[in-house]
Amino acid sequence: MRMGRGAGGGGRGCWFLVATCVWLGSAVPVAAHSEESAISLRSYTPITVDGTLNDWVRRLESSNWTAQLEIKKGKVYEWIRAVPTYLNTTMARVESGTIKNAEDFSAVVYTLWDDTYLYIAAVVTDNEVVTQQQGENIWQDDGLELWIDCRHDAVTNTLFQEDEYQLGFSPASQYRQEPVGWVWRNPNSEPTRKALRVASAAKPGGYVIEASVPWKALTGCQPTYGGMIGFNLSMVDKDEDQLWTHITWSGQLHSNPSQFGHLFFVDAPVDLFPSDVFEVPATGSSLEEILGSPK
C-alpha cells in the first residue's frame, strides 16, 4: 500500500488512516518480530549533518492550530518535524548497568528519510559525557547505536548477513575533539563506514548527535512509502567512574535481529493538513529550549 500522494483524495485518506494505525500501536500487519514500531517521516529538503538540528525544525503559524494546540493566535512556534522515540528507564530496557535518574541519562531519538539518505538525530541528557575510545572501540563510550535489518527477515540471533548492520555514533567531548562513526557485524562494512556522516554538539546537561547514511551503502535497503525495515536503537552511558550502562529500545537482546522492531517509512507532504499531527515537539516550544545554549 502506497502512503502519500495518491490520485485525487483517496491516496491522502489512505495515508492518514494507515499512518494513524501505525502510530496507535502497529495495527498494520507486520512480520513476527518485536511489537515495537517507529515512524520515519520523509524530508523534502536535504538535511545538513552539523549537530545543530536547525533543518529538523519546522515553523508553524499557530493561527492554523489555535484549537488543537491552545496557543495564542499569531505566535510562531518551532517544532521538530520528526516522530520521537524515547530511550529512558520507562520507555526502554536497561540491559546492563544502572541509570540513577533522568539527569544521569535519557534520550529522544528521531529519524527522517529521503530517496538518498537515512537521517538520525538524538537529543541526549547525560551528566557526564565520556568518549575516550577511537574506531571500532567507540561502543565502550557514550553514544548511539542504530541496528538495521534491511530485509527484515531475520529469524535467528545471527547478525552477520549482508543486509544487517550495527552503526555506532559517539559524540565529541573533553576527551576527544571529534565525533566518530563506525560499522560492525556486516561482512562488508568498510564502504558503509566510509559513507557515514556524523556531527555532535554539546548542550547543557548532555549533547546532540546527528548522522546520515546513504541508502546505497546499505545492502537491501530501499525505502518505499508504507514499507519498513528491521530497526533497533540502543545507547551507552559511560560515566567518569567507568560505570558502563547499556539501554535498548526493542527486544531482550539489542543485537538479536529477530527481536528488532519496525521502522515504517511515511510520507509527510506539506500540502496534507493531517500530516502535521506528526509534528511533535521534543520539549518546550523552540529550538533553543530543546537544545539549550552550547556550553
Cell triple for 181: 562513526
Please, are residues 182 and 135 in contact by the beta-carbon 8 Å criterion? yes
Segment (H or E) for 211: strand 206-214
Please, are residues 56 and 81 in contact by the beta-carbon 8 Å criterion? yes
Q: Where are the domains of the chain?
A: 10-55+81-272
Task: List beta partners, residue 9.
Answer: none
Amino acid type, 40: S
Cα–Cα distance, 284 to 79 (Å, whole number): 9
What's residue 239's pLDDT? Answer: 83
Please, are residues 167 and 213 in contact by the beta-carbon 8 Å criterion? yes
Q: What would the CATH number be for the domain defined by 10-55+81-272?
A: 2.60.40.1190
**Whole-model pTM above 0.85?**
no
pLDDT in tens, 127-177: 999 898 999 999 989 999 998 988 877 666 666 778 889 999 999 999 999
Which single residue is written with the C-alpha cell 502506497? 2
Instruction: Please report the DSSP string for 41-73 in residue order.
Output: EE-SSPPP-SSS-GGGEEEEEGGGSHHHH---T
pLDDT in tens, 40-54: 999 988 999 999 998
CA angle 286, 168, 289 (to 5 degrees): 10
Backbone angles phi, psi at 176, to 5 degrees: -140, 125
pLDDT in tens, 168-220: 999 999 999 999 999 998 888 899 999 999 999 999 999 999 999 999 999 98
Give every CB contact of residue 224 below 8 A, 6+ residues apart in sequence.
2, 265
Percentages helix, strand, coil for the chain, rounded to the nearest 5?
20, 35, 50
CA angle 147, 148, 149 (to 5 degrees): 135
